[in-house]
Amino acid sequence: MIDSILKAKNLNGHSHDLYGDDHLPSGMETPLRPDAFDLSDSEKKARIAYHFGQIMETLGLDLTDDSLKGTPGRVARMYVDEIFAGLNPENRPEASLFENKYQYGQMLVEKHIGFYSNCEHHFVPIFGKAHIAYISSGKVIGLSKLNRIVNYYARRPQVQERMTNQIGADLQQLLRTEDVAVIIDAKHLCVASRGIQDDHSSTVTAFYGGAFLNPETQAQLRSFLAD
C-alpha cells in the first residue's frame, strides 16, 4: 500500500530506507507474511482461542472455572475484530475529498485524537493522543476521517515511530499534499506496568512534511497545541 508509492521516511520527513535498531521499526510497513490473509477471520479466531487456552493452561489456570472458560474465545474475538483489526487493509476507512470552497489556505489542526494501540514487543497497550495538521492543496477531508485513519493504524501491533510515519505518509497520499504534520504523545504499558515500571513518562514522536519542515511553521503548530 504505502510502500508501493513512497520510500520510508524518518521522523523528520527525510528519505530513509530501513530502521535497524531492535527498538525502532523495521520499515514503514507493518511486517506481515505474504499469507497473512489466507485464513478467514473465523479460522483465525479458532486458532487464537486454542493457543491462548494453551497459554492459560501452561500458567496453571483452571479453564473449567466459570470466569475463565470463555476467556480464550473472548481474547480471539478481541484480537481479530477489535484491537488488531487494522492489520486487514479491508478495514481501511473510506475517505472522500471535497473541494476547498472556502479557500482556506492556512494550516488546519485537529488535536487530542485519542487512540489505543498495542506494543508489538510485549503485546501490552500503548495509548495517548495524536495531533494532525495539514495545509490544503485544494482538497479537504471530513474531520472524523482523520480520527478514523489514526484508529486504523493504531489497531495493530505497533511501534510508535512506525505508526507516526504510517499516518503521515497515508495522509500525504490521501490529501495530495506534502504539507502534513503528525505528532503523537503516548504512554506505553511495557514501560509502566513491567520492566522499569515508570507510569509517569510518555513518548513523543513527530512526522513533518512539506511546509512543516520549516521551523517557523513548526513553531506555529506548537503554539496551537500549547493549551
Q: What CATH number should be reported for the domain holding residue 185?
A: 3.30.1130.10
CA distance 134 to 151: 18
pLDDT of residue 26: 53
Would you place residue 206 in the very low, low, confident or very high pLDDT band (cuts 50, 70, 90)?
A: very high
In the predicted structure, residue 7 carries a pLDDT above the cut 50: no
Is residue 179 located within the same domain as residue 107?
yes
User: CA-CA distance, 114 to 98, in Å (whole number)?
Assistant: 25
Q: Which residues pair with 99 in a beta bridge?
A: 139
**DSSP H helical segments within 176-207, as ranges?**
189-192
Same structural domain for residues 186 and 79? no
Pair 69, 128 in one domain: no
Catalytic residue positions? 119-122, 160, 188, 190
Whether residues 165 and 190 fall in one domain: yes
128 and 70 belong to one structural domain: no
Nearest 10 degrees: CA dihedral of 187, 149, 206, 162?
80
Same domain, 115 and 49: no
Return the closest-CA partner of residue 150 out of 201, 192, 110, 119: 110
| DSSP at 45 | H
Question: 133 and 205: one domain?
Answer: yes
For 49, the domain range is 41-87
151 and 189 part of one domain: yes
- Residue identified by cell 504512554 is 187
In a domain, 29, yes or no: no
Q: 164 and 215: one domain? A: yes
Do 130 and 182 share a domain, yes or no?
yes
Residue 93 lies in a domain: no
In the chain, the number of structural domains is 2
- With a cut of 50, say whether residue 6 has pLDDT above it: no
CA-closest candidate to residue 205, choices 150, 145, 140, 136: 150
- Say if 34 falls within a structural domain: no
Position 95 scores a pLDDT of 87
Q: Out of 25-29, 107-111, 200-204, 220-224, which region has the weakest mean confidence (pLDDT)?
A: 25-29
In a domain, 67, yes or no: yes
Residue 31 forms part of a structural domain: no
Query: Is 175 a domain residue?
Result: yes
Determine whether 88 is exposed, middle or buried from the number of CB atoms within 10 Å of its CB (0-12, 13-18, 19+). Answer: middle
Pairing state between β 107-119 and 97-99: unpaired
Q: C-alpha cell of 60?
A: 496453571
Q: Are 57 and 136 members of one domain?
A: no
CA distance 54 to 191: 27
Cell of 167: 499516518
> Given this model, what pLDDT does residue 227 score?
72
Q: Is 155 exposed, middle or buried, given 0-12, 13-18 or 19+ CB atoms closer than 10 A? A: buried
Q: Residue 7 domain-assigned?
A: yes
| pLDDT reported for residue 13 | 41
Distances (CA, A) of 162 to 12, 123, 178: 13, 16, 18
Residue 180 predicted with pLDDT over 70 = yes
User: Which cell goes with 189?
Assistant: 504499558
Q: Where residue 132 falls among pLDDT bands split at 50, 70, 90?
A: very high
163 lies in a domain?
Answer: yes
The set of residues, in sequence order, having a beta carbon less than 8 Å from that of 7 and lying 6+ positions away, is 15, 16, 17, 28
User: CA of 173: how far to CAs of 85, 120, 178, in Å?
Assistant: 22, 26, 8
Query: Does pLDDT of 18 surpass 60?
Result: no
Q: What is the CATH number of the domain that holds 53?
A: 1.10.286.10
Domain boundary among 87, 109, 143: 87
Q: Would the pLDDT of 3 be above 90?
A: no
Tell whether 121 and 213 lie within a shared domain: yes
